[in-house]
Structure 1
Amino acid sequence: MQFAIHQSRKSPTTYLFLRERDGLDAIPEGIREELGKVKFLRMSRGKEEETPAIASKYQEIIQNIGSRGYHLIMWASQGAGGRSGS
């Protein structure tokens, strides 16, 4: 499954993963308000070609996109390991 990777403009260490590039309808209103505007970064690659940070969460991202339509990750710092949120 390929997914769209977005970044919160309000909180640049927060990343949003969606089934489709413009699939923001899947995000609950409260989370949308917290994120503010989001910037589309790119479509995902296969797990083997992904960045280490995304590859380490790949299955979790796919599972959450499948079950609720989105996955949210708030990294402590740009490109670092990170913690997942919902």
Structure 2
Amino acid sequence: MAFCQRGSPGIQKGLSQERLAEAANLDRTYISLLERGKRNPSLLCLISLCRALNISLSELFNTMSINSDVNTDDVRRFN
């Protein structure tokens, strides 16, 4: 499951990877990896991203579940 795919909070707020990374105190390349589903964010990373987006963790996960199609490959990656 990619973090910043179309319809995600970062995209909805119109933030570039650079601006989101700066606001969350993360590297832009890490944001890119999250966006492409190549990395899984830690809880601390999620908290930083939520603070940068001015949303709660529950809002983030509600948005992700609504806007994401979870497939078996995603489930296997998390297990």
TM-score (norm 2): 0.32
Bigger strand fraction: 1
Name the structure where helix makes up a greater proportion of residues.
2
